[in-house]
């Protein structure tokens, strides 16, 4: 958990978020709304790109279905709001979920963390840190403090992957990465739709799909 790349990535998100929060206070509402739309469109674009990296569409479907049902049963998104004490602040919760998904749902997180843990190669996470720092600045200017709290997600998820890297090294295989990316892509697509106010989707309830994806990929390989 104390891997230097994980710490750097967490600090990058914290710095970018603080800068965005401070800058966002001086940004007129109409410009913040433009940023909302830009982030929503970019999220949809990233989601579509990631989805088409899938290896087995049935694995992606199963991950989303089972993950969504689990998330809905446990009311995961509502609990995230209560956990932060900001359940009535939709902007806060949306910012936290948006940033968390963008920072941890991609293949760079998985590959970079495992390489850092197994090989001591921090290059991918350092590059990701730079990207996340810039992204957190834009996100925090729009959504505020919720993005700042996503640094906890970055630290916990990447720290866990680095710590268990020797056990989880198989997740670097293309078949696992493809289905994980496809699942993350669909979640990001749903997030983009929500950000553009096309339809309200409780994207946080689909978080379990990212854990179920590797399990179903493994099971599909046995069939």
Determine the average pLDDT of the residues in 152-174: 94
Q: What is the pLDDT of residues 3-21, one digit of tens each?
A: 899 999 999 999 999 999 9
What is the Cα–Cα distance from 76 to 198, expressed in whole angstroms?
22
- Which of 135, 133, 158 minimizes the C-alpha distance to 14? 133
36 φ, ψ to 5°?
-55, -50
Q: What is the pLDDT of residue 86?
A: 55
- pTM exceeds 0.95: no
Give yes or no for residue 218 having a pLDDT over 90.
yes
pLDDT tops 70 at residue 82? yes
Tell me the per-residue pLDDT of 94-131, one tens digit each, with 9 for 90 and over: 899 999 999 999 889 999 999 999 999 999 999 999 99
The crossing angle, in degrees rounded to 10, of helices 90-104 and 4-24 is: 140
Q: Which two tokens stand for residue 114?
A: 């495992």
What mean pLDDT, rounded, does the chain reach? 92
Nearest one of 146, 145, 117, 154 to 12, comparing CA atoms: 154
Host domain of residue 124: 4-222
Which among 209, 163, 218, 160 is positioned nearest to 50, based on CA atoms?
209
Q: How many domains does the chain have?
A: 1
DSSP conformational letter for 203 = G
CB of 119 closer than 8 Å to CB of 65 = no
């Amino acid at each position: 958990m104390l891997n230097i790349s994980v710490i750097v990535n967490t600090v990058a998100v914290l710095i970018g978020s603080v800068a965005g929060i401070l800058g966002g206070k001086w940004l007129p509402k109409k410009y913040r709304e433009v940023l909302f739309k830009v982030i929503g469109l970019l999220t949809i674009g990233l989601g579509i790109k990631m989805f088409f990296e899938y290896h087995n569409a049935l694995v992606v479907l199963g991950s989303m279905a089972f993950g969504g049902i689990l998330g809905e049963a446990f009311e995961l998104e509502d609990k995230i709001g209560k956990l932060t004490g900001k359940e009535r602040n939709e902007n806060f919760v949306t910012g936290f979920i948006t940033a968390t998904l963008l920072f941890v749902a991609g293949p760079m997180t998985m590959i970079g963390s495992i390489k850092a843990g197994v090989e001591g190669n921090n290059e991918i996470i350092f590059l990701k840190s730079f990207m996340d720092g810039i992204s957190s600045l834009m996100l925090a200017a729009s959504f505020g403090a919720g993005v700042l709290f996503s640094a906890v997600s970055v630290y916990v998820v990447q720290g866990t992957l680095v710590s268990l890297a020797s056990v989880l090294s198989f997740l670097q295989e293309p078949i696992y990465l493809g289905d994980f990316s496809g699942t993350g892509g669909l979640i990001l697509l749903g997030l983009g739709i929500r950000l553009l106010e096309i339809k309200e989707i409780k994207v946080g309830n689909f978080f379990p799909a990212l854990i179920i994806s590797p399990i179903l990929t493994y099971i599909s390989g046995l069939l």
